Amino acid sequence: MSTPYWVAGRPATGTEVLEVRSPHDGALAGATTTATDEDVEAAVAAADRVRAELAATPAHVRAAALDSVSRRLAERSEEVAALITAESGKPLKWARLEVARAVSTFRWGAEEARRWSGSLQRLDTDPAASGRLALVRRVPRGPVLGIAPFNFPLNLVAHKVAPAIAVGAPIVLKPAPATPLTALLLGELLAETDLPAGAWSVLPVPNEVAASLVQDPRLPVVSFTGSVPVGWSIRESAPRKHVTLELGGNAAAVVAPDQDDAALDWAASRIATFAMYQAGQSCISVQRVFAHRAVAEALTTRVVEAVGKLVTGDPTDDATDVGPLIDETAARRVESWVDEAVAAGARVLTGGSRDGASYAPTVLTDVPAGAKVSREEVFGPVVVLDTVDSVDEAFARVNDSRFGLQAGVFTRDLQVAFRAAQVLEVGGVVVGDVPSFRADQMPYGGVKDSGTGREGVHAAMEDLTEERVLVLTGIAV
């Protein structure tokens, strides 16, 4: 049975069947259909028609809708987690965590919708403005085109949908072609709410259709999470639109010389886990590690040991830590990058082999500076360990990248922590942990080729809106 897609809040079915299969074993996860041209037009037209109505919707209505989605996700959490695993190959333990995060994301959206207010500015700071007061509010820029990736098929969709609804902006969502089913299930939950028709649509469409949507003037905001070339091409092709981009990176962790044995155990465990979780298919998975020479050997031993304990295999098994990549093409690319680094002199400390769409968790050292596994985003279960002679050298190595999303710094020295926040060219610095930490309410995004704009519910709400000023005259301030 084919899962319907959603056009202006109603289910619809096209003629071109889209089967979704597990990257682990090819089993059928489900099927839907590609949205027809007529339904795509209907979704965009409905979003355009409802923009004023949705913007004027009382906060309690928008908050109630988001609360409902959060609650229903929690109630159906096992079902949703199983679907995430089936279509993406994500191990069930991580799929469950993703559902829990999405529950939180929609809850935060509801809370922020209730708090979303303006500010007052007194203008009588100059004699000419005596008796005047400004009310500054943020209003939606207009309907949003949300384009989501495959690696978090629920929570990164939530980060498109929840802020848009919270501010009263209609959203047309394009899920990733490899993982549309979870977003379509989310549509079921949105359909249970009292949001007006046109407030949201979920359309499985090919990339060429997405390109035409990017150009559609009725969608003045584009929120994209995905690959670097596609993201910047969207921005270049729509210079008059408000475009937010979350494009990934090659996240680094710095291990300072002040780490004792217990701290090194923690650092190694976190590095091993979050270099390999999601099969490395996270834009803030640990890819580069710069350890001070005083602790590098001890850290390396611990990381290799911790990686060796990770369970790989069937993602539906509760014990599995690392599953397959999204498809065999992705795994072959990772394999070629590692092989290239080894041919140039890198050493494989563990891993380095491929089986279909799966790539063994891999630790590399002595990697040449120009190797792709260091310079580009691997997006696979590979981590590169490097030794440095000072923290300043480590910071310089972190910055020697065209990416700048997040960095982790393992230190107990407050001076080092604050210097990291000052000098590291990234969107966020995590002290005492890996760069892979993310709280869904905090501002999240990068600099350089990692993108522009910020996710995180409140930050995204600001990105989807613009200030509007009302000046009141003859007011006794």
Active site residues: 246
Residues with Cβ < 8 Å from 158, sequence gap 6 or more? Answer: 101, 102, 105, 106, 109, 186
CA atoms within 13 A on the CB side of 349: 22
Judge whether 122 and 109 are in contact, CB under 8 Å. no
- The one-letter amino acid at 173: L
Q: What angle do CA 68, 80, 170 make, to 5 degrees?
A: 45
| C-alpha to C-alpha distance for 83 and 382, rounded to whole angstroms | 26
- Stretch (H or E) spanning 208: helix 207-215
Q: What is the C-alpha separation between 215 and 181, in angstroms, rounded?
A: 26
- Alpha carbons 418 and 429: distance in angstroms, whole number: 10
Residue 112: which residues within 8 A CB-CB, separation 6 or more?
A: 163, 166, 457, 458, 461
Tokens 């490899």 locate to: 178
Q: What separation, in Å, do the N-terminal and C-terminal C-alpha atoms of the chain show?
A: 64
* List of residues 6+ apart from 408 with CB closer than 8 A: 251, 252, 253, 254, 270, 286, 429, 430, 431, 433, 434, 435, 436, 437
